[in-house]
Amino acid sequence: MEMPDLLDLLSKGNVRRFDPGEHLFRQGDPATAIFVVEEGRLRLLRHLEDGTTVALHTARGGETFAEAALFADAYHCDAVAEVESRVRAIPKTALLEALGRDPALGIAFMRLLAGHVRELRGRVELRNVRSAQERLLAWLRMQAVGSPAAVRLDRTWTEVAAELGLTREAVYRALARLEREGAVLRRGDGIVLGPPRGV
């Protein structure tokens, strides 16, 4: 049950550049493609009947979005670049055709989606932890690998804060307090959890 050339397929589309505020597509436009964010940040916004707007999602580097466009005739929301961004567009027809032809590719795509579901559920779960300190600790434990459990950061704390639904200040404070209390240890480019209590 290995992953066939799904990534290959997902890298076939054209990359386009968008300026801040520029639209990739608008609610109601014919759904013609799904997207992969190469770089930057896009917001998905839905316009409601009463004229108000609600944010559906914020897509960042590496993420795919508008997958649901595969199964709809039109986009259900706007996609707007928040900062200058590079976005790869995978044509819907080609992707659908490939998925329908090669079952293994379909399975791979399902796994991708199922993984998203699991990851998103984890994210929601994390947000249920009220305390900033506990939430950060839970996140660190989820990210941790090895023994002793350690996390190597591949992103800035500011970005981590956004994922946790906190301000960066709150994260720094939580971090400082966790370290003060001996729950974690900052090690340059990463964090070590559950440090030796005997010291």
Partner DNA sequence: CGAAACGTTGACCGTTTTCAATTACAGTGG
Partner DNA sequence: CCACTGTAATTGAAAACGGTCAACGTTTCG
Please, what is the minimum distance in Å from the beta carbon of residue 190 to its own copies?
16
Please, what is the minimum distance in Å from the beta carbon of residue 6 to DNA?
30
Partner residues linked to 106 by β-bridges: none
Q: How far apart are CA 180 and CA 43, in angstroms?
A: 37
126 or 172: CB nearest DNA: 172
Binders of its own copies in range 54-83 (CB under 8 A)? 54-58, 67-68, 70-72, 76
Binders of DNA in range 144-183 (CB under 7 A)? 156-159, 165-170, 172-176
Pairing of strands 33-39, 64-65: antiparallel
Local structure of residue 176 (DSSP, 8 states): H
Binders of DNA in range 127-146 (CB under 7 A)? 130-133
Of 85, 79, 87, 77, nearest in space to 41 by CA: 85
Q: Decide if residue 109 touches its own copies (CB under 8 A).
A: yes
Q: How far apart are CA 121 and CA 131, in angstroms?
A: 19
Do residues 16 and 86 make contact, with C-beta atoms less than 8 angstroms apart?
Answer: yes
29 or 159: CB nearest DNA: 159
Q: Decide if residue 11 touches DNA (CB under 7 A).
A: no
Q: How far apart are CA 15 and CA 67, in angstroms?
A: 17
17 or 155: CB nearest its own copies: 155
- Interacting residues toward DNA by CB under 7 A: 130-133, 156-159, 165-170, 172-176
